[in-house]
Amino acid sequence: MFNLFLAVSPEIFIINATSILLIHGVVFSTSKKYDYPPLVSNVGWLGLLSVLITLLLLAAGAPLLTIAHLFWNNLFRRDNFTYFCQILLLLSTAGTISMCFDSSEQERFDAFEFIVLIPLPTRSMLFMISAHDSIAMYLAIEPQSLCFYVIAASKRKSEFSTEAGSKYLILGAFSSGILLFGCSMIYGSTGATHFDQLAKILTGYEITGARSSGLFMGILSIAVGFLFKITAVPFHMWAPDIYEGSPTPVTAFLSIAPKISISANILRVSIYGSYGATLQQIFFFCSIASMILGALAAMAQTKVKRPLAHSSIGHVGYICTGFSCGTIEGIQSLLIGIFIYALMTIDAFAIVSALRQTRVKYIADLGALAKTNPISAITFSITMFSYAGIPPLAGFCSKFYLFFAALGCGAYFLAPVGVVTSVIGRFYYIRLAKRMFFDTPRTWILYEPMDRNKSLLLAMTSSFITSSFLYPSPLFSVTHQMALSSYL
């Protein structure tokens, strides 16, 4: 019995920390004795600290993985794959919390509940990564989505933010309904919800002739529900609107953390649970469509956040390439892609939120950034070039390995499409760099220097982006270990 609780001690800690933070915030911010202080930065730093302590608990609890036997047949499963995915998730969450401080201060955003609503979906995402049963998966996806609906609509007086929140609500509830429908069809056809049981039942079901239309519909619906949540292309309905309307730290959180955890979940379902050609075809089609749309749709944009949303859709397309080849190189390249995508996105949104302090919304406002703020212009250019896939940067490394894995498993149509869309998509990334370096705007905008948290975050992520080409082997060996352990 003890083993059960010791093995989930990171989640227990973060749940308790969130509750205590909430109570602390409510008690002190409504107390007349202290003159009703707005506790945003206080709760913010404590929230960041609790996420980092959770990371410490997770890292220190690694030997406990071997004694968490009680989990294996029930709802969760802990192995090296979940360990490293959870570490990545917690690092990304810590990064996005540290982006929030200055923007809350600048925009007079006095609600400390916003900070409390960041560790709360993190707890659900930690459960989601280790979920090994349809019930656990659904029950972890839902609270995560609910918290995101709330923080997307958190600026109550802004029309954009409430519209983004209501659109996200409808999109998320619809996709959860479809996901749950898929779970029920699979349960109805096989009588099993646990992924171990499903792996045994669905082994080669297309070949042995045990195919039933209920099973096919169930797997299709689960894939569609997941693709809605990861905003892949035929199902990306309102994702750019949601990304643009939400407040910037929320957009950052939204484009990094659910992608990590839902990708981990899709990996469990599609590679472990139901390995077969059905899902491979769906992901094949979606990755091609996402890559094409991500490259083409961002060209006509004039605002700053929408091209980032479209480029994240394009990147999801590249990541789905890893799903559609069912080999170990495929999973490894997928995990490398997710890791590098998370770092690049933290980088990009940190810069965008630093620039937004003086109400930058349009790309044209970025003009002559190189003359007023040369270092942030250089960092932004490095991030954009890494998104584009220019060689010595980390983005090229991830795309190269993804296409390499796609070619290695025989998806000979996917890799050329990926390369061509990558080249086409470079246009608007380089256009951003051109605007910064070579354009003079009609009115010059002076940007305030960014605060210490964001500059530290930018230093860490951009140094990783530039230097990972020289020494990529820790990343490669970690992801190889993750890929292998997700097969066992």
Partner 1 sequence: MDPIKYFTFSMILSILGIRGILLNRRNIPIMSMPIESMLLAVNSNFLVFSVSSDDMMGQSFASLVPTVAAAESAIGLAIIVMTFRVRGTIAVEFINSIQG
CB of 248 to partner 1, least distance (A): 14
Considering just the CA atoms, what is the radius of gyration of the chain in Å? Answer: 22
Q: Quote the least distance from Cβ 128 to partner 1, whole Å.
A: 14
Residue 376 CB burial class (10 angstroms; 0-12, 13-18, ≥19): buried
In three-state secondary structure terms, 79 is coil
Q: Is the CB of 107 or the CB of 142 nearer to partner 1? A: 142
DSSP 276: S
CB of 217 to partner 1, least distance (A): 10
Joined tokens for residue 153: 């609509």
End-to-end CA distance of the chain: 25
In sequence order, what are the residues at sequence separation of 6 or more whose Cβ sits closer than 8 angstroms to the Cβ of residue 459? none
Give which of 363, 342, 182, 179 is closest to 258, Cα–Cα.
342
Find the shortest distance in angstroms from Cβ 263 to partner 1: 22
d(CA 39, CA 43): 6
Q: Shortest distance, CB of residue 51 to partner 1, whole angstroms?
A: 23
Contact call for residues 94 and 51 (beta carbons, < 8 A): yes
**How far apart are alpha carbons 168 and 171 in whole angstroms?**
5
**CB of residue 158 vs partner 1: minimum separation in angstroms?**
7
Q: Which residues bind partner 1 (CB under 8 A)?
A: 134-135, 138-139, 142-143, 146, 149-150, 153, 156-160, 162-167, 169-170, 173-174, 176-178, 180-181, 183-185, 187-188, 191, 193, 240-241, 244-245, 301, 306
Question: Least separation, in Å, of the C-beta of 349 and partner 1?
Answer: 18
In the complex with partner 1, which residue's Cβ is closer, 173 or 390? 173
Q: Whose Cβ is closer to partner 1: residue 118's or residue 414's? A: 118
Between 194 and 454, whose beta carbon lies closer to partner 1?
Answer: 194
Q: Read off the tokens for 443.
A: 């009115």
Enter the tokens of residue 304: 């700053």
Question: From the CB of 190, what's the least distance to partner 1, in Å?
Answer: 9
User: 188 or 391, CB closer to partner 1?
Assistant: 188
CA distances (Å), 443 to each of 210, 365, 367, 438, 449, in order?
Answer: 68, 8, 9, 15, 19
Q: Which two tokens stand for residue 350?
A: 């940190």
**Furthest C-alpha separation in the chain:** 73
CB 262 within 8 A of CB 229: yes
In the complex, the smallest distance separating the C-beta of residue 371 from partner 1, rounded to whole angstroms, is: 30
Residue 131 DSSP one-character state: B
Least Å from the CB of residue 334 to partner 1: 29
Closer to partner 1 at the Cβ: 201 or 378? 201
**Shorter beta-carbon distance to partner 1: residue 287 or 312:** 312
Task: Return the SS3 of 448.
Answer: coil
Q: CB-wise, 51 or 252, nearer to partner 1? A: 252
Burial category of 391 from C-beta neighbours within 10 Å (exposed 0-12, middle 13-18, buried 19 and up): exposed
Which CB, 359 or 371, lies closer to partner 1? Answer: 359
Helix (H/G/I), strand (E/B), else coil: 303: strand
Nearer to partner 1, 76 or 284 (CB): 76
Under DSSP, the state recorded for 77 is -
